[in-house]
A = this chain, B = another copy of it.
Amino acid sequence: MDGIFVGIDLGGTNVKIGCFDGKLKLICKTSAATESNMGPDAVVDRIAEATEKLLADNGLSMEAVESIGMGAPGPSILAEGIIIASPNMPSFKNVPLRKMVSERFGRPAVLENDANAACWGEYVLGAGRDVQDMVFFTLGTGIGGGVIINGELVHGFADNAAELGHIIIYPGGRSCGCGQKGCVEAYASANSTAIRATEAIGAGADSSLKKVLEKEGEITCKDVFEHSAAGDELARQITDETAKALAIVCINVLHTTEPKRIVFAGGMIAAGEMLLGRITDFFNEYIWSMKKETVEIAFATLGEDAGIIGAAALAKQAKDGGKRKSD
């Protein structure tokens, strides 16, 4: 059989691991707790053991693995495979992760930013598989991004391009964890959406979300979307502000790299058409009248597997020496 490509999606809490064939078809996958507090060496060991078990359980061996792709969070020096720092993995400081993984596995490895890896997965096999120019947003606790131009990920001059959650849309506005004010992440992430609802109720707004807050002690973004769908006016307003912020950032990336498709991923897209429809409505309301725009705004299709698929695809691409989609 063809060689196998391993895709690893390293997160602060969990690490996902997938084995793919040469056509990027998923053979098997698993996940494990990251336990980053144990330090980088222990994390790499844990990943290697989980991968070896996954391979063995499926009648495969490390010898069949061609190469390993890995998406990881935080600023990195990609050409050298080093993670500079990672807010959710404080023990990872200037860690030569690619070298460590490659040595532990005895196989070539590539490192990519985690949002870029998921973007690449959607580009190769998901919501962007039929386009060459795409912009990607992950809507989760924070907002991550990826930009693809002419079939290539944009890394920027120092590997920190596509930090799209930190595009400022309301200068002087809400404080973001990054130190800026008015970032789209400070309005439209799952956390920010929940926080805005909680604040509004704290300020005396009437809403069916009040009971959730009283009972659960907190409101989640999912609650906001559910109560919006059920007709609660405050939840509808909060949802609209999220959609509006995302529409503005769609307009801004359109006027910068002009993608053919803008793809949203992450837990928030479970809201479905209620959210996508409002983003599109606001986009159409706020976009210029100079020409009719044909950019498509869509939701991701690969779910949580986007990261491992993208990482494996990048491993395969590095081996093939090419840059285009596999087909």
Contact = CB atoms under 8 A, between A and B. Distances in A.
Nearest to A294: B158
Interface stretch (A203-211, A228-236, A281-289, A305-313): A281-289
A301 interface: no
Given A166-B290, A167-B256, 7 more contacts: A158-B260, A161-B255, A161-B258, A171-B244, A171-B286, A256-B257, A257-B257
Given A157-B259, A288-B178, A169 B169 contact: yes
A162 B167 CA distance: 16
A288 B166 contact: yes
Contacts of A171: 169-170, 244, 248, 286
A179 B258 contact: no
Interface in A224-252: 244, 248, 251-252
A130 interface: no
Contact of A258 (B158, B257, B259): B158
A169 B259 CA distance: 20
9 contacts: A75-B290, A84-B291, A156-B259, A160-B291, A161-B256, A161-B257, A178-B288, A179-B289, A256-B257
Contacts of A162: 255-256, 258
Contacts of A168: 169, 248, 251-252, 286
B290 A255 contact: no
A259 B166 CA distance: 16
Contacts of A169: 168-169, 171
Contacts of A31: none
A274 interface: no
B258 A256 contact: no
A79 to B, nearest CB: 13
Pick the most buried of A161, A181, A256: most chain B CB atoms within 10 A of its CB.
A256
Nearest to A159: B258
B255 A163 contact: yes
A201 interface: no
A195 interface: no
A133 interface: yes
B157 A133 contact: yes
Nearest to A251: B168
A164 to B, nearest CB: 7
A299 to B, nearest CB: 19
Nearest to A135: B256
A50 interface: no
3 tightest A-B contacts by CB? Answer: A156-B258, A179-B289, A161-B258
A180 interface: yes
Contact of A167 (B133, B181, B255, B259): B255
A85 B292 CA distance: 13
